[in-house]
Amino acid sequence: MLGTFQQSQLRIEIQASADAIHDSILHPAELKKWLLGQTFSQGIPEELQPGSHFTTWTGPIQIDHHVDVVKPNCLRLLLSGSIDGFHEWYWGDGWVQSRLEGISMLPINLAQTLSLFSLRQYLATQKPSENPTK
């Protein structure tokens, strides 16, 4: 893999419950609503489980995801393709944290920051009763 080793860890406050954050991150139907500009491969399960695989594209940039760990407040994805590394998500009531490490030619901190702000904006527009997964 060409590129540089990069690491980034960001934590932001979000006006949402841990359950709402959980659903927005672990349910691909919700993920697709806030992870803007990305196309997802077919065949993703309704809820991410250890061992699940999926691919995302942002234009020609392809990233393969392997779900490594899923817990009530944690998700760990192993990444390959345009980023070789991992992405961890942690959350609780009112906050979400993202840790991303890998080798890439892409500026991973920029994409990570945009994703977190997109998630915060998405959750700010949702009412608790609007989440169809609960």
Chain segment 70-129, per-residue pLDDT in tens:
999 999 999 999 999 999 999 999 999 999 999 999 899 998 999 999 999 999 998 765
Chain segment 15-24, per-residue pLDDT in tens:
999 999 999 9
Residue ranges and CATH numbers for the domains of the chain are 4-123 (3.30.530.20)
Predicted structure pTM score: 0.90
Q: Is residue 46 a contact partner of residue 54, using CB atoms and an 8 Å limit?
A: no
Measured distance CA(107)–CA(104) in Å, rounded? 8
The band of 14, judged by pLDDT with boundaries at 50, 70 and 90, is very high
Q: Can you read off the two tokens belonging to residue 40?
A: 């997802």
Measured distance CA(31)–CA(50) in Å, rounded? 17
Q: Is residue 102 a contact partner of residue 27, using CB atoms and an 8 Å limit?
A: no
Q: Can you read off the two tokens belonging to residue 123?
A: 């959750």
Q: Can you read off the two tokens belonging to residue 101?
A: 């490490």
Chain segment 31-68, per-residue pLDDT in tens:
999 998 899 999 899 999 999 999 999 889 999 999 99
β-bridge mates for residue 95, sequence order: 13, 92
Show the beta-strand stretches assigned E in the chain.
Answer: 4-13, 39-40, 53-58, 61-71, 74-81, 84-92, 95-104
Name the pairing type of β-strands 84-92 and 74-81: antiparallel
pLDDT for 130 equals 52
